[in-house]
Chains A and B, each alone.
Chain A
Amino acid sequence: MIKYMWAAYIVTWVVHLGYLGYLTARTGRVRREVEELKND
Chain B
Amino acid sequence: MKLKLILFALVTLGLLSYGLYMALVVAPTEATMGDVQRIFYYHVPSAWTAFLCFLINALASIWYLVKRTERSDAIAVSSAEVGVVFCTIVLLTGPIWARPVWGIWWTWDARLTSTLVLWLIYVAYLMLRRFSASGRAPVIAAALAVFGFFDVPFVYLSIRIFRTQHPQPVIAGGEGSGLDPTMAKAFLWNMIAFTVYGLLVMWLRYRLELAERSVEEAHAEKSMQEGA
Contacts and interface: CB of A to CB of B under 8 A. Distances in A.
Contact of A15 (B89, B204, B211): B89
A14 B225 CA distance: 45
Contacts of B36: 1-2, 4-5
Main secondary structure of the interface of A (DSSP, over half): helix
B22 to A, nearest CB: 13
B85 A11 contact: no
B100 interface: yes
Residue among B33, B36, B205, B222 with the most chain A CB within 10 A? B36
Interface in B177-228: 197, 201, 204-205, 208, 211-212, 215, 218-219, 222
Interface string B85-101: 10011001100110110
B215 A27 contact: no
Contacts of B43: 8
Contacts of B218: 37
Interface of A: 1-2, 4-5, 7-9, 11-12, 15-16, 19-20, 23, 26-27, 30, 33-34, 37, 40
Nearest to B99: A4
Contact of B38 (A5, A26, A34): A5
A15 B34 CA distance: 25
Nearest to B24: A9
Main secondary structure of the interface of B (DSSP, over half): helix
A15 B197 CA distance: 14
B109 interface: no
B89 A27 contact: no
A13 B97 CA distance: 16
A26 B205 CA distance: 10
A9 B42 contact: yes
Contacts of A5: 35-36, 38-39
A13 to B, nearest CB: 9
B115 interface: no
